[in-house]
Amino acid sequence: MMLDKINTQLQNLSQIQEAQKQQQNAAKAPDIEAPSFKDVLKQQLSGSEEIKFSAHAEKRLQSRNIPITPELMQRIQGAVNKVREKGGKESLLVFDKFSLIVSVKNNTVITAIDNEGMKDNVFTNIDSAAFA
């Protein structure tokens, strides 16, 4: 019983010390101006958050020699915005020589498949497809 009480007090002390460290770190952090509510709302309504690439997608793009150009980024963003407008969450974006699986909700390209890889392939966990 006494040992349990001591363990509980040690845990409480540990939690207090951790909270103090977090406060000190927060005090040392540089002042970063948060975006205004208006800016966040505008970004959310426009759906113009920048597309990201998962580490897996980056490896696939590189290994399959699929270059990402500014023009292609615009096409990806446009396709993602259209899928978002239609309520899609996980989408297959089909391009001329390759396809991408994109998490629309997270604005993240999950993987890339070249046309050769499209043959005899089954795609699961998608709710939409768009031809871009």
Domain containing residue 109: 51-131
Q: Is residue 87 part of a domain?
A: yes
Residue 27 lies in a domain: no
Which pLDDT belongs to residue 3? 64
- CA separation for the pair 24, 27 (Å, rounded): 5
Domain-embedded: residue 102: yes
**3-class secondary-structure state, position 23:** helix
- Supply φ then ψ for residue 66, to 5 degrees: -110, 105
Q: Is position 45 within any domain? A: no
* 98 Cβ neighbours under 8 A, 6+ residues apart: 64, 66, 112, 113, 114, 115
Per-residue pLDDT tens listing for the chain (132 residues):
666 667 677 677 677 777 777 777 666 655 566 777 666 665 665 555 789 999 999 999 999 999 989 999 999 999 999 999 999 999 999 999 999 999 999 999 999 998 888 887 888 899 999 998
Tally of structural domains, the chain: 1
Residue 49's H or E segment, with its range, is none
Q: Which two tokens stand for residue 80?
A: 């993602």
Beta bridge partners of residue 98, listed in sequence order: 114
